[in-house]
């Protein structure tokens, strides 16, 4: 065996290369931020100022329509007919959480417009929040007209 070959051997390094450490640090930071937001009930839209808010009830009608009722004056401000997949899915999500907790439909949902242009639907009874813009502009367009409907 060559003397140079034995002296050229490297001992295994126990430290990780810096790119791996940077990626692990970024992953840990991401998990920390997401965990903090989930525990605080927040989302990026929740952490901005609310520009406007409207309390609404969504009621099923015998013909299958969904009526939107202003919580303040109990006036029907809009009616959705047909499948309305996104609207019904969003409402089902909020209602399921109330049902799971043994709550009824007495408290209205809050439709909020934020200063950054985002739109959220919040159930104050459970704290469940749906960031509507996360589902695309077509789905935001379902809820956006409710801001001024019936006024």
Mean pLDDT of the chain: 82
- The separation between CA 100 and the C-alpha centre of its own chain, rounded to angstroms, equals 19
The per-residue pLDDT for range 102-139, each reduced to its tens digit, is 888 889 999 999 998 899 999 999 999 999 988 888 88
The per-residue pLDDT for range 19-61, each reduced to its tens digit, is 887 788 778 777 776 665 655 455 554 556 889 999 999 999 9
Angular region, 81: left φ>0, alpha ψ -120 to 50, beta rest: beta
């Amino acid at each position: 065996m060559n003397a140079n070959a034995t002296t050229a051997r490297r001992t295994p390094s126990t430290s990780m290369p810096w790119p791996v450490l940077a990626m692990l640090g970024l992953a840990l930071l991401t998990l920390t931020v997401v965990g903090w937001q989930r525990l605080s009930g927040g989302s990026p839209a929740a952490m901005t100022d609310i520009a406007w808010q409207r309390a609404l009830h969504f009621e099923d009608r015998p013909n299958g329509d969904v009526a939107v009722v202003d919580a303040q004056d109990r006036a029907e401000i809009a009616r959705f007919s047909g499948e309305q997949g996104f609207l019904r899915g969003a409402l089902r999500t909020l209602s399921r959480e109330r049902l799971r907790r043994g709550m009824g439909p007495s408290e209205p949902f809050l439709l909020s417009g934020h200063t950054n242009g985002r739109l959220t639907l919040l159930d104050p009874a459970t704290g469940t929040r749906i960031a509507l813009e996360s589902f695309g502009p077509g789905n935001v367009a379902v809820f956006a007209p409710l801001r001024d409907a019936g006024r």
